[in-house]
Structure 1
Amino acid sequence: MQDDDFDLFRANVRGIKPISIDRADTGKPRQDRQQVTYKRTQASSPTAQQRIQVDGLSDQFVIDVAAEEELFWAREGVQEGQMRKMKAGQIPFEGNLDLHGLSVEKAREQLWAFLAEALRFEIRCTRVTHGKAARTDGKRPMLKSHVNTWLRQHPQVLGFTSCQAKHGGTGAVYVLLKRTMLEGRDED
């Protein structure tokens, strides 16, 4: 019976020529070498994403918050009493940064520079005004959400809370910063 199958196969393939091309045509266009080179160059050059990592303030994950939502966050180990005092406006703030009307990128740069300057001068508490305007696309406030996320990422920020109404309410935050010990000064 096996010989009959073999004879049947030969009869069916008689006159057929073997294929000389051993690659299938997938219908997919060939890659443009210039485009591939360009993409590789872009991937290896400093991009906005890499600049984000330089300052440590990332937009990979932004915590959306509502316009009237009160913000409150404290790093582990920060005393609750300190945070309560700050929320009550009992810790005076030195310095204010107003981010109204800035693009997200410009706001990030200014916030990073402002915090660096505050730390350089050993400032304990500052105020950052982010506003609370709702976006035109109906989503949550953009700068408020970004500031809420960025402050949590900054290594020198101990905590933050929405301000008293007289200082901006839910459109601003008091920010508690670490202080390094200056020579000859005791920490209080």
Structure 2
Amino acid sequence: MHDEELDLFLQEMAGVKRFTADAVADPNGEHSPSLAQQARRKAAEQDMEYDPNYLSMEYVDLVAPDEVMAYKKDGVQDGVYKNLRLGKYQMDATLNLLGKTLVEARAALFSFIAECHQRGIRTLLIHHGMGRDSKPHPAILKSYCFKWLPQIPEVLACHTALKPHGGYAATYVLLQKNAEQKRENRERHQKK
């Protein structure tokens, strides 16, 4: 019976050819990767390093240099948004992104908003420029700012600034209250 199984196995394996390995193993049986494989592995490890900045550098819908930014999260009162839009709030902090690369602007915007929120600063002015002459497309930095600001959870609303504050080249931003401000607000309303 054993010979019948062996014969059957050999019939099934008749068309199979021996596999030849691409890499050569050393005498100890360990595989030594090529320099190209080592470089790919190192690049992959660097890509996997944690980056807390979640702002996307992927595809962006391009906006015109004179396009108006208008964004408001649900729950933001119309009167508050109107005052922001009309520049009626004092701008407590300003960020100038002019002349920065996209990577630099992404990092600067992310850290600036995080720091402002932590410090309790609520109204900001971001200067991103109009980008009329930016290459290869106009308004690249402005387009990314329009994409990034709504991605940030602390941003409640933003709108293109009025002419005295930079016009189409700048954006007003309203941040939510930080934990300390929320606690103070609850305490103030509980005393009434």
> TM-score with structure 1 length normalisation?
0.74
Counterpart secondary structure, 2:57? coil
1:151 and 2:149 matched: yes
Cα 1:61–1:76 shift into 2, 3 Å: farther
> Contact between 2:156 and 2:176, CA under 8 Å: does it hold in 1?
yes
Distance 1:126 1:78, change over 3 A: same
SS in 2 for 1:173: strand
Distance in 2 between residues matched to 1:116 and 1:56, nearest whole Å = 12
SS of 1:54's equivalent in the other structure is coil
Other-structure match for 1:40: 41
What corresponds to 1:86 in structure 2?
A: 84
Give the equivalent residue in structure 1 for 2:109: 111
Structure 2 CA distance for partners of 1:42 and 1:139, relative to 1, 3 Å: same
Q: Is the 8 A contact 1:124 1:179 kept in 2?
A: yes
Matched residue type, 2:94 = N
SS, match of residue 96 in structure 1:
strand
| Number of the residue aligned with 2:166 | 168
Q: Using the TM superposition, give the Cα deviation of residue 79 of structure 1 relative to its aligned residue in structure 2, in angstroms.
A: 2.0
State the partner residue of 1:27.
none
Higher deviation after alignment, 162-171 or 83-92: 83-92
Q: In the aligned structure 1, how far is the partner of 2:135 from the partner of 2:100?
A: 17
In structure 2, the partner of 1:98 is 96
Q: CA deviation at 1:137?
A: 3.7
The TM-score, its normalising length taken from structure 2, stands at: 0.72
Q: In the aligned structure 1, how far is the partner of 2:119 from the partner of 2:76? A: 21
Preserved contact between residue 134 and residue 142 of structure 1 (Cα < 8 Å): no
Question: Could you report, residue by residue, the CA deviation over 1:130-160 in whole angstroms, capped at 9, with x for unpaired residues?
Answer: 0012244452311111111111111111110
Measured in 2, the distance between the counterparts of 1:54 and 1:120 equals 16
Matches of 1:131 and 1:170, distance apart in 2: 7
- The 3-state SS of whatever aligns with 1:126 is strand
The 2-side partners of 1:136 and 1:110 are apart by 19
Gapped runs of 5+ residues in structure 2?
Answer: 1-14, 24-32
> Percent identity among equivalent residues?
28
Most deviating of 30-39 and 68-77: 30-39
Instruction: Name the Cα RMSD after superposition.
Output: 2.8
Structure label with greater radius of gyration: 1
Q: Secondary structure at the match of 2:98?
A: coil
Segment of structure 1 superposing worse, 81-90 or 53-62: 53-62
> Given the superposition, is the C-alpha separation of residues 145 and 21 from structure 1 closer, same or farther in structure 2, using an over 3 Å criterion?
same
SS of alignment partner, residue 185 of structure 2: coil
